[in-house]
Structure 1
Amino acid sequence: MKKIIIYVLGTGGDIDPMVGVGIELQRRGFSVAFLSNDYFKPRIVAAGLEFVSVGTVEQYHKGNTPEAWERTNRADNFEHYHAPAFEPAFNYVKSLANEKVLVLALGEESGARVAARKFNLPFIDIILSPNIVFSAFKPPAPTSWVIPSYIPGFIMRFLLRRNRKAKFKRFCNAPHTAAYRAVRERLGCPLPFRSKATALLHIGFFPEWFGMPAKDWPRNLKMVGFPLLNHASSSSRSEFDALIEKQGAPIIFTSGTGVKDVEDLFKEGRKICEQLQVPGLFVGGNIGVEFLQGSSLCAHMGYIDFEYALPKTLAIVHHGGIGTTAQAIKAGIPQLIRPLKYDQPDNADRIYKLGLGTYVVPEKFKAEQVAPMIGNMIRKGKTSKALAHYAERVRKSAAIVDACDLIEREFMSLEQSKYK
């Protein structure tokens, strides 16, 4: 049977698109095995997909503490979450070295991807956000924010390539990567510096107009659009409708998956609602309720169905995860992004360039500064051509199907050559 291995860690926003891919590939007759953390086993198994554990729930929580989400913390998420998954993923893919198998992997140096490379198995690189793709011509934010305009382009490109190597060396010498590097040495795959991608194909789960591709991006990178996976919830829809019937269309404030520290977002968000005299709906698991107590304008929900709720709202304030960003574009509402780390600053920068919203770094997220910005966005949003234009383009997307078409085509090509 045709077999696909999908390796993915991260938060729910990383898992859900790949579950969608797995379901579609299985519908097409592929056998699909999912390599992920035990934390995500219920949703993967519920989708009817084979689950292979590469980490414990304890490791997930260790790598996703409030401290791990601090912008200056480069250690905890990798050391406690990603690094321990290397060996079990490597060994699983190694065990399939003589079978007809294609590996789909998120994470540049994951165990699944390294094993595929070592044992000459074909693999496809899955990219969920544009900041992952290195470019010396158009570097992602926040790097692009600090590049002086007076430096000639050819010098900056040289410095960016040099900085890439320097970051790799720092990673190789960092204490939090010691165990990871030791495992790789023991398994006979020491960590190399790679300036060129070696995947059979790169699939970007974002549209070309959002990716704004640079001329030094890989030629075999295909952008298919936003996957827009959504968890429908009839109970949350009813609760949401009851809220807006009572108070009117709100501003949504959400911390995103994986973020536990919501104090600043909720406290300042409450002040913003009070200053603008508009209702606010604060979303973030079961945390943060205490910061809203006593407010007649602010309500809290543990979960909302974005695809259903966002078109009925005035605007959204969020951290800039690619899934929330895409749903806000589809809904045609303005967004203010408060980026923390990972892909969030770059997503915020692209939203600003497209005229779909703006961003504020966390230390400047104060009601006195932000409330007028949101008020202005809401007023302009009612007649914004950019919001309407890109919302329509996203609604026409079929990213999961298009991605699976590419994957199936590559597998058929392999069957005619390597697997013949």
Structure 2
Amino acid sequence: MSDYSTVLPHIVVVTTGSAGDLFPFLRLGLGLRERGHAVTVLAPLMHEALVRQAGLAFHPLPADPAVLEDPDLWHPRRGFGVVWRAMRPGMEAMQAFVAALPREQPCVLLVHPLAVAHADLCRADRPGLRIVAGYLAPSNLRTVHDLPVLGPFPIPGWMPLKVRRWLWNMVEATAINPVVVPELNAARKAQGRAPIASYMDEMYGAPDLSVTLFPEWFGARQPDWPAPLLCADFPLYDPHAHASIAPALLQFMHAGSAPIIVTHGTANLHAARFFASALAAAERLGRRIVFLTAHRAQVPASLPPTAFWQDYCPLAALLPDAAALVHHGGIGTTAVALRAGTPQLVVPMAYDQFDNGARVAALHAGLTLKAERATTRTLADALQRLLQSPEIHVGCAAVKERMAGGGALDGVMDVISKTVSKTGKI
């Protein structure tokens, strides 16, 4: 039998969702492997190539790509239920994978927030297993203090804390607990454990350690966030960081004025109306435009000479020569634009996107426009304000300088490695 007493813990990274959910965890996995840990990534099967390209061990989690076709995936209230039902087979596969690991080998689950509750089920069957939760965006963490929006609804600063707490309780009681608590309690009962009443209490209370995957200047530590908590930085990762811009796109970029870049997330198959409105808005303003999406059918079939479609290009390579970025507000895309100092028009649909957009606006690095309001006229008006605002120009430059100064990610990974390598509870 192998002697595991001097072996660093095996880090099992568990994530779900789109490439935007995967990339931060790949960055962490690579950093922890550099620190001597064995790292295995459990992610939906569709991400296998990306994980293997990064050089990390991969174990597939079953996922039905048909979920991307469900229009409710991007509904601000019904989307959570779609995601939860879609990830259930993957979470069962995670439990089977962990159960099959050598019992003597120390193991740490580094998990996406949506995998925390199932990680806790794994720990009940494997005492000594530790859980580290990585929170991708500030809105992943419930708080009544720093709350610019609650879903799509703005929360005024004067609103009393007790009213904010009541609002959170209503969201959980009506949109979250009915979806997940019965299922989790059935699993807990099978383990001989007491039921839970609140999914969010379980998600925040179960980890041995929580880590924010964004800097404190973007989302400051709040008194009602879980403890112990490490505040890190954006773990930016690009699978094609050194890829060059396609010649035709490069030629287009340099053939006229700086274009507007438009994208709406790798998992969004319902952006056709948005892209059509964006093209019409750009034409109204006399601006050139580039569409970035792997789904060509969503882009208008006939594009004028002032418009260009590309299936993929690293945003980091493209943004320095762009006038602005119009996007959905995913945390990865948001962070890349902040680093580039590019003005952003965030058009959120669901999940953390509303909060991310509000924070971009608060930094004077961009504007927001709800997706259901994104018509030709409103997009044109918002882009005009964005491109002409001296305040946003200054705000973008300030954020770019802040990000150029480096962050706390490497130091936090050192702390994570040292902490999870100790014996006993974190």
Q: When the two structures are superposed, what TM-score results if normalisation uses the length of structure 2? A: 0.87
Matched position secondary structure for 1:282: strand
- Write out per-residue CA displacement over residues 225-281 of structure 1, whole angstroms, 9 at most, x where no aligned residue: 111212236353534321112233100010111001121221111111111111000
How far off its partner does 1:384 sit?
2.5
User: Which residue of 96, 107, 111 corresponds with 1:105?
Assistant: 111
How far off its partner does 1:375 sit?
1.9
Matched position secondary structure for 2:69: coil
User: Which residue of 108, 119, 127 corresponds with 2:135?
Assistant: 127
* Residues 1:166 and 2:173 aligned together: yes
How far off its partner does 1:84 sit?
1.2
- How many residues align structurally? 409
User: Which residue of 10, 17, 22 corresponds with 2:17?
Assistant: 10
Structure 1 runs not aligned, ≥5 long:
none
Percentage of identical aligned residues: 24
How far off its partner does 1:150 sit?
6.8
How far off its partner does 1:66 sit?
4.5
1:400-411 paired onto structure 2 within 5 Å = 400-411=409-420
* Structure 2 CA distance for aligned equivalents of residues 262 and 240 of structure 1: 21
Matched position secondary structure for 1:299: strand
How far off its partner does 1:371 sit?
1.1
1:47-126 paired onto structure 2 within 5 Å = 47-56=54-63, 59=64, 61-71=65-75, 72-74=77-79, 75-80=81-86, 82-96=87-101, 97-108=103-114, 109-116=116-123, 119-126=127-134
* Structure 2 CA distance for aligned equivalents of residues 346 and 185 of structure 1: 36
Partner residue in 2 for 1:263: 272
- Deviation larger for 367-376 or 30-39: 367-376
* Residues 1:206 and 2:214 aligned together: yes
* Structure 2 CA distance for aligned equivalents of residues 367 and 357 of structure 1: 19
Contact 2:148-2:154 at 8 Å conserved across structures: no
Matched position secondary structure for 1:278: coil
* Structure 2 CA distance for aligned equivalents of residues 368 and 137 of structure 1: 35
Contact 1:86-1:180 at 8 Å conserved across structures: no
- Write out per-residue CA displacement over residues 315-360 of structure 1, whole angstroms, 9 at most, x where no aligned residue: 0110000011011111111101110101101101111111111111
- Deviation larger for 228-237 or 4-13: 228-237
The verdict on how the C-alpha distance between 1:310 and 1:158 changes in structure 2, with shifts beyond 3 A counting, is closer
Contact 1:328-1:334 at 8 Å conserved across structures: yes
Matched position secondary structure for 1:317: strand
How far off its partner does 1:406 sit?
2.1
Give RMSD over aligned pairs: 2.7
User: Which residue of 315, 334, 338 corresponds with 1:325?
Assistant: 334
1:290-309 paired onto structure 2 within 5 Å = 291=300, 293-309=302-318
1:101-250 paired onto structure 2 within 5 Å = 101-108=107-114, 109-116=116-123, 119-139=127-147, 141-143=149-151, 145-147=153-155, 153-160=160-167, 162-163=169-170, 166-167=173-174, 171-174=176-179, 182=186, 185-186=189-190, 192=196, 193=198, 195=201, 197-230=205-238, 231-232=240-241, 234-250=243-259
Partner residue in 1 for 2:321: 312
Structure 1 counterpart of 2:292, one-letter code: V
The verdict on how the C-alpha distance between 1:241 and 1:347 changes in structure 2, with shifts beyond 3 A counting, is same
Structure 1 counterpart of 2:78, one-letter code: N
* Structure 2 CA distance for aligned equivalents of residues 294 and 144 of structure 1: 32
The verdict on how the C-alpha distance between 1:79 and 1:223 changes in structure 2, with shifts beyond 3 A counting, is same
Contact 1:268-1:366 at 8 Å conserved across structures: yes
Give the structure, 1 or 2, with the largest relative contact order (CA under 8 Å, sep 6 or more): 2
Q: When the two structures are superposed, what TM-score results if normalisation uses the length of structure 1? A: 0.88
Partner residue in 1 for 2:4: none
The verdict on how the C-alpha distance between 1:330 and 1:191 changes in structure 2, with shifts beyond 3 A counting, is farther
Contact 1:255-1:319 at 8 Å conserved across structures: yes
How far off its partner does 1:26 sit?
1.5
* Structure 1 CA distance for aligned equivalents of residues 402 and 209 of structure 2: 25
How far off its partner does 1:110 sit?
4.4
- Deviation larger for 336-345 or 379-388: 379-388
Partner residue in 2 for 1:285: 294
How far off its partner does 1:65 sit?
2.1
- Deviation larger for 366-375 or 289-298: 289-298
* Structure 1 CA distance for aligned equivalents of residues 391 and 71 of structure 2: 39
- Write out per-residue CA displacement over residues 162-185 of structure 1, whole angstroms, 9 at most, x where no aligned residue: 325524xx54544x8866665554
